[in-house]
Chains A and B, each alone.
Chain A
Amino acid sequence: MLSKLQNTLNSLSSKKSLKYTLYISAIIIFFALILVPPIIGIVIKAPAMQSFLKQPVLVNSALGAISNSFIIALIVAALDLIAGVPLAWLITRGKSRWLSVLDTFADIPFVVPTAALGYSILLFWSSSGGISTLFGSSLISPGWLLVMLLHFTFSFPVVVRVVVGAMLDYKMEYERASRTLGAPPLTASRTVTFPIIKPSLIAAFSLAFARSLSETGATFIVAGLVFQNGPVFIQNLSNGLKAGTISQATYEGGTVFASLILIVVSLIIFGLIRVLGQKLTLPFGKGLPSFEKKLSYKKAAWSRNSIALFVFIVIVLIPSLFVALPAFQAIATGSTLAQALMGQGIWSSFWQSLFLSYSLAAIVTVLGILTGIPMAILISRKTFGKLPSTILDLLINVPLIVPSIALGVSLKFFWQGIPGIPEFLLLVFAHLAITYPYFVRSMSAAMERINVDMEEASRTLGARPFTVFKTIVLPITKYSILSGAIIVFTRSVSETGATLAVTSNLVTAPVLLVKWVNSVRGIVAPIAGVNALTVGLACGFLILFSFIILLVLRLLTRKGKI
């Protein structure tokens, strides 16, 4: 049966018409489901901006919030690079076998849903139970500093992952050549390694920047009552609408206004990064090699590694997992755990939301892979020529830079005009739009690294295109497919902003957690049965399940089963 299917796929794959139908379908799906709806959603509501623009207080507040977004995103992305590169260096260049464990730990903030992460950061830095205990009072109050710490935490793994990937692909021969010509290690890195991996450094910076700019759910938790960035401003508008303090027109106008500015300015900044990044060169720095020589050797390298590890453990890892502490307490008390496991009271809605989140993430991941692979092939193999591939490559990035809540709102604006769309489908579209670029990016980069000779060799040995894909492309790119799938899955499980925006009835786990956290913090009316223990346990479950799923995926790939 299976071989019959394989034979059919093989003979079909040889037909050019079918191949092009597949590619064109991928392009249509990208435009119809991912790129166009949010843009049209914003454009059709553009007239609503008029009533919003008549309210100078709100306009000023929006502009202030948006500038906060950019300032924080730029600073955080820069700090991520400064801290992430030494850790990536340590992971790829260190000799200890424990570094592979460190490599896995670097992914942990990926696993923690951002809403849980936000709460975790709040507990660690701000509550009396966290690090603040050492100082007698709240060390860092909710506000801009806490938002920066949060954004640093969740964008840090992105930077580490990208830079580790680049360093693994980097030919060490260049650095060795530099050393034999008289350059101390740091000079060799500055003058040879970093310029060669510059595209990846720029990509890491851009991804961290985009993540910071678009994150909503967790930011809302740690922003406090006074501080606003762009996404928080949109969320506050949405809350204001629900509370009846602002009108529908103001809500729509404000959302479109903030989203448009965020999108346009982001596009300009991305364009600048793209253009200037390529031209950016570090000066050779006469005399610098002697100074760098002093910084290159054992003691200095040891200090550098220690600081990188310290930053990772204290600012990223522990605050990310801190939320799990009350989970242990909840397990110790027994009754909360028993209630949770039996699905009593509030826990029934938790399990429902968890089931919804994981089902949604699984569907989105499968759809992302199915629609993303043809697009990745189109981009990497320049099937329709160089220019169309470059344009597609650029357009893929658009959903990355739109704040997730703005993306959600604009998608809702678009799809609510088409009657009969189920809410679940809307959720799938929203999550697909947000996660799609991550998969395509990871996959197309992997495809570019494959030597086309290997595929051609396979064809000359009698393999049809489907067999070539199955026996050559798939095994070589499986790690990238897995990495892409992991990012899609975790992003979907943790996505809050867009989910809040597109849903009225369905409640995913992060949305439920935000409600619970707000209840515990007294921001909304208390929900009976929700307290710090239940929130901690719920976050603990979410982290645990996500971690197990990722672990299974990793083990499966390692055994070469996928």
Chain B
Amino acid sequence: MPDVRVVNVTKKYGKLYALDNVSITIHDQEYFSLLGPSGCGKTTLLRLIAGLIEPDSGEIYIGDRRVDKVPPEDRDIGFVFQTFALFPHMTAWSNVIYGPKVKNYDAKQAETIGHEVLELVKLNERLNAYPSELSGGMMQRIAVARALAAGAKTLLLDEPLGQLDAKVRNEIRYEIRRMAKDLKLTAIHVTHDQAEAMSISDRIAVMKKGKIVQIGTSQELYMHPNSLFVAHFIGESNFLEGYVTKANGESEIELRQGLVVKAFNQMNIKPGERVVLAIRPETCEMKKGHVASENCLFGRVEKSTFEGIVVRYEVRLENGDRFVINRPSLTEEWSKIGEDVTITYPLDKAHLFPYPESGLAEEIKV
């Protein structure tokens, strides 16, 4: 059963580093996602693992076998393309049994496999239709069935849900995970949709500009982001800029206009250094009026948006910073625009980071 290991892999296009000395291990039977904004190198990494492109340097292993010089047809992988890449001149059925046929299985064996995988993707109709006659969801199922029918133990998925509408996408993502788990496959799933990655992955690697910035479970990435980029890219965060004024345990941070707040200083940032405090909108409480308490911020509601489950408020803090907070829409009285409010945040869910050299905007740019 294959672990997939990528060791110090670099890939350049001209002067641009698509991947810069990347190393990663994906465990056997793990459902793993590569997550990042467009151009971060996640598809390049997937294509390198598939053998569709060759690395400039570094090593790639599938199981114990080094494969970076092995052509894709000998890597024993299944690949689902973003555009599905169903062969337009073949029917859905011919597409599905293409893999067994090129692998010289006899006709009966190919047929059995074909029916088995179609059973898995719950599709047994319109098999004589050509891809152009199928809906997006059907094409997606055929693409997955085709990749599975080739008998691979490693399934590589390149934004496989990108072409589908939201409802179908939500349904199919759990099905793909279920199939991968049922068949005990190692699956690597590329996506730029953090909700998709978080809902189906055992672990996620967040990528930025050709590098992996953090690897972890959904919870780890959400609860303990190791950088401003991850704090921003996974979920949403308010970023408050300031300076450390006291640096023992519960540090004090002086925000703009002398507003002082508290935060845990897990990175041991020294007093006087410039910092950014990241607080997620959904971790905060909000009360009407200005009521002094621990770890609180005073402000006034500038905008409120009903988003279904939550109401999203944009609050102008007393020091002029803008702060976003999400509150349950059904269990709480809504605040009005222009209303004074007090926001409290839990210390253990506020993350303190050194101010980035390139500036905050550049650091979190996607």
Are A178 and B87 CB-contacts (below 8 A) given A173-B81, A184-B71, A184-B73?
Answer: yes
Q: How far is the CA of A104 from the CA of B104 in the complex (A)?
A: 41
Q: How far is the CA of A182 from the CA of B99 in the complex (A)?
A: 6
B103 and A180: CB pair below 8 A?
no
Are A180 and B52 CB-contacts (below 8 A) given A287-B104, A289-B103?
Answer: yes
What sequence of 0s and 1s flags, for each residue 285-322 of chain A, a beta carbon within 8 Å of any chain B beta carbon?
01101100000000000000000000000000000000
Q: How far is the CA of A536 from the CA of B119 in the complex (A)?
A: 72
Residues from chain B with Cβ under 8 Å of A192 in the complex: 87, 89
Q: Shortest Cβ distance from A260 into chain B, in angstroms?
A: 38
Asked if B102 is at the interface of the complex by the 8 Å CB criterion, the answer is yes
In the complex, what residue of chain B is closest to A198 when comparing beta carbons? B89
Q: How far is the CA of A174 from the CA of B102 in the complex (A)?
A: 15
Q: How far is the CA of A533 from the CA of B106 in the complex (A)?
A: 67
- Please count how many residues in chain B sit with their CB below 8 Å of the partner chain's CB atoms: 28
* Residues A167-222 near B (CB distance < 8 A): 171, 173-174, 176-185, 187, 191-192, 195-196, 198
Residues from chain A with Cβ under 8 Å of B98 in the complex: 178, 181, 183, 191
Q: How far is the CA of A128 from the CA of B102 in the complex (A)?
A: 53
A191 and B102: CB pair below 8 A?
yes
A290 and B83: CB pair below 8 A?
no
A182 and B73: CB pair below 8 A?
yes
Q: How far is the CA of A207 from the CA of B101 in the complex (A)?
A: 35
A180 and B104: CB pair below 8 A?
no
B150 and A177: CB pair below 8 A?
no
Are A183 and B73 CB-contacts (below 8 A) given A177-B87, A196-B89, A284-B101?
Answer: yes
A181 and B102: CB pair below 8 A?
yes
Residues from chain B with Cβ under 8 Å of A181 in the complex: 73, 78, 98-99, 102, 146-147, 150
Asked if B325 is at the interface of the complex by the 8 Å CB criterion, the answer is no
Residues from chain A with Cβ under 8 Å of B150 in the complex: 180-182
Are A187 and B72 CB-contacts (below 8 A) given A174-B87, A181-B150, A196-B89?
Answer: no
B102 and A180: CB pair below 8 A?
no
A179 and B104: CB pair below 8 A?
no
Contact of A171 among B50, B85, B101 (CB under 8 A): B85
Asked if B249 is at the interface of the complex by the 8 Å CB criterion, the answer is no
Are A179 and B87 CB-contacts (below 8 A) given A286-B104, A289-B103?
Answer: no
A173 and B85: CB pair below 8 A?
yes
Are A196 and B73 CB-contacts (below 8 A) given A180-B50, A289-B102?
Answer: no
Which of the four size classes fits the interface of chain A?
A: 20 to 34
Are A187 and B78 CB-contacts (below 8 A) given A177-B85, A182-B73, A182-B150?
Answer: no
Residues from chain B with Cβ under 8 Å of A179 in the complex: 51-52, 71-73
In the complex, what residue of chain B is closest to A185 when comparing beta carbons? B71
In the complex, what residue of chain A is closest to B52 when comparing beta carbons? A176
Q: How far is the CA of A178 from the CA of B103 in the complex (A)?
A: 11
In the complex, what residue of chain A is closest to B53 when comparing beta carbons? A176
Q: Shortest Cβ distance from B50 into chain A, in angstroms?
A: 6
Residues from chain B with Cβ under 8 Å of A198 in the complex: 89
Residues from chain A with Cβ under 8 Å of B78 in the complex: 180-181
B88 and A290: CB pair below 8 A?
no
Asked if B79 is at the interface of the complex by the 8 Å CB criterion, the answer is yes
Q: How far is the CA of A187 from the CA of B99 in the complex (A)?
A: 11
Q: Shortest Cβ distance from B186 into chain A, in angstroms?
A: 15
Contact of A178 among B75, B102, B156 (CB under 8 A): B102
Q: Shortest Cβ distance from A153 into chain B, in angstroms?
A: 33
A182 and B103: CB pair below 8 A?
yes
B88 and A196: CB pair below 8 A?
yes
Residues from chain A with Cβ under 8 Å of B73 in the complex: 179-184
Asked if B205 is at the interface of the complex by the 8 Å CB criterion, the answer is no
A180 and B88: CB pair below 8 A?
no
B89 and A180: CB pair below 8 A?
no
Asked if B77 is at the interface of the complex by the 8 Å CB criterion, the answer is yes
A177 and B102: CB pair below 8 A?
no
Residues from chain A with Cβ under 8 Å of B103 in the complex: 182, 289
What sequence of 0s and 1s flags, for each residue 118-158 of chain B, a beta carbon within 8 Å of any chain A beta carbon?
00000000000000000000000000001100100000100
* Residues B301-315 near A (CB distance < 8 A): none
In the complex, what residue of chain A is closest to B47 when comparing beta carbons? A176
Are A176 and B81 CB-contacts (below 8 A) given A192-B87, A290-B104?
Answer: yes
Q: What are 5 contact pairs spanning A and B, CB under 8 A? A: A173-B85, A176-B72, A180-B78, A196-B87, A196-B88
User: Which residues of B are interface residues toward A (Cβ below 8 A)?
Assistant: 50-52, 71-73, 75, 77-79, 81, 83, 85-89, 98-99, 101-104, 106, 146-147, 150, 156
User: Which residues of A are interface residues toward B (Cβ below 8 A)?
Assistant: 171, 173-174, 176-185, 187, 191-192, 195-196, 198, 284, 286-287, 289-290
In order of increasing CB-CB distance, the 10 nearest A-B pairs are A180-B79, A181-B99, A177-B85, A173-B85, A183-B102, A179-B72, A195-B89, A182-B103, A181-B150, A182-B73
For the complex with contacts A180-B73, A180-B147, A286-B106, 11 further pairs of A-B residues with Cβ separation under 8 Å are A173-B83, A174-B88, A176-B79, A176-B85, A177-B81, A181-B98, A184-B71, A187-B102, A192-B87, A289-B102, A290-B104
